[in-house]
Amino acid sequence: MLKTTRKMLSPRTFIDTLLSIPRSLFRPAPIGNNNAVKKSVIPSAGSDLPLPTDRFQFIRTIDRGQFGTVWEVQDILTGRHLAAKSVIAPSEPSHEKCPEVLQEQNIMQALRNPGHPNVISLHYVYPTDDGHYLVMDLGGPSLRSILQTEKPFSAPEVARLMRQLISGIAYMQRLSIQHYDITPDNLLWDGECLKICDFGRATVQRIRQEEVLFEYMPPETLSGGCSHNVDIWSAACVMVELLLGKKLVPRQQLNRSNSHTPLSRNDRNRMMLKQVKTAFRHIEHCAGTEAAQLFRNMTRPLKSRATPEAALAHPFLTATSPGPVAD
């Protein structure tokens, strides 16, 4: 945040200040037919986005969250459109006092090499006094926004999306990383390539993530345990929404009727098992037996739950052209 002052500079001081500014800051944007650049707006000093304006042209705000903002920017040197996400420490301004502020950056840096077409790639990191900015792939709109405006996907479309999603999960698991937040909100789809984004909750496998999204978590995690295969269960929850247009386990069903008191562990597990059986029947009816069997394999208890590799080999996914994936 820039501070203003009413004190007038002397002519000599003003000239010296101008001469001290790097010439690169006055570099004009490239001339071309890119309408996005013509419509772009450089944020004001109070916009909380101190990225170098000689390198990035700011297009629009994509999303605002609890700990930061995501912007669409254009790299002036390459012409490529990217996303810039602010990651702000929740309280302490020092990275040493708030190591959690670096968690998403560290996870994304680990995923860069060799990278995967279905996982958002990190390109640049710019540190600030109270956090940092991550510049990454832009991707398409989220599956959540698509589901809110369009009807559920067809079975072949879901097979294509699930193939790409599980391929990305398999890549993360090979690097011992769990996303812990696989939801339609964090899956970007441009009509061709699905990309997993938002690694703010991601962690190393077998390390419990304290903050979880209940509707997308398997029973063992909701019971306070660790799990090495959370993301596959979450992917099955996404599959239900894509095919049926509704959540597998709405959050309100995890509480007792007409109250905010959580169900007991046994009651919750019985309720979730009932929801899985109901979803199985509905998926079988609308997408076929193979789709229902894949869903069931992905929602089994932890010891018998399908691995990403086993899910990728399932006939429901192998029978359909998968789109951009890397095995």
pLDDT tens across 229-282, in order? 999 999 999 999 999 999 998 877 776 666 677 777 788 888 889 999 999 999
Paired tokens of 229: 């295969």
Does pLDDT of 206 surpass 70? no
Q: Write down the pTM of the prediction.
A: 0.79
The partner residues of 72 in beta bridges, in order of sequence, read: 60, 83
Closest CA to 124 of 107, 111, 109, 140: 109
Q: CB neighbours (10 Å) of residue 311?
A: 25
Cα 244 → chain centroid: 22
pLDDT tens per residue, range 284-298: 999 999 999 999 999
Paired tokens of 285: 């009816």
Cα 163 → chain centroid: 17
Judged by average pLDDT, the poorest of 184-188, 192-196, 253-257, 298-302 is 253-257
Share of the chain above pLDDT 90, in %: 49
pLDDT band (50, 70, 90) for residue 132: confident
Helix (H) or strand (E) holding 39: helix 35-39
The pLDDT value given to residue 13: 44
User: What average pLDDT is seen over the chain?
Assistant: 79
Q: Which CATH number fits domain 143-318: 2.40.10.10, 1.10.150.120, 3.40.50.11540, 1.10.510.10?
A: 1.10.510.10
Measured CA to CA, the distance from residue 21 to residue 321 in angstroms comes to: 54
- Extents of the domains making up the chain: 50-138, 143-318
Measured CA to CA, the distance from residue 89 to residue 68 in angstroms comes to: 9
The pLDDT value given to residue 87: 79
For residues 50 and 94, which has the higher predicted lDDT (pLDDT)?
A: 50
Is the CATH code 3.30.200.20 the one for domain 50-138? yes
Convert 201-237 to b/e letters by CB count within 10 Å (16 or more is b): bbbebeeebeebbebbbbbbbbeeeebebbbbbbbbb
The pLDDT value given to residue 24: 34
222: Cβ contacts below 8 Å, ≥ 6 apart: 212, 214, 254, 268
The pLDDT value given to residue 257: 67
For residues 131 and 45, which has the higher predicted lDDT (pLDDT)?
A: 131
pLDDT band (50, 70, 90) for residue 69: confident
Fold identical between 50-138 and 143-318? no
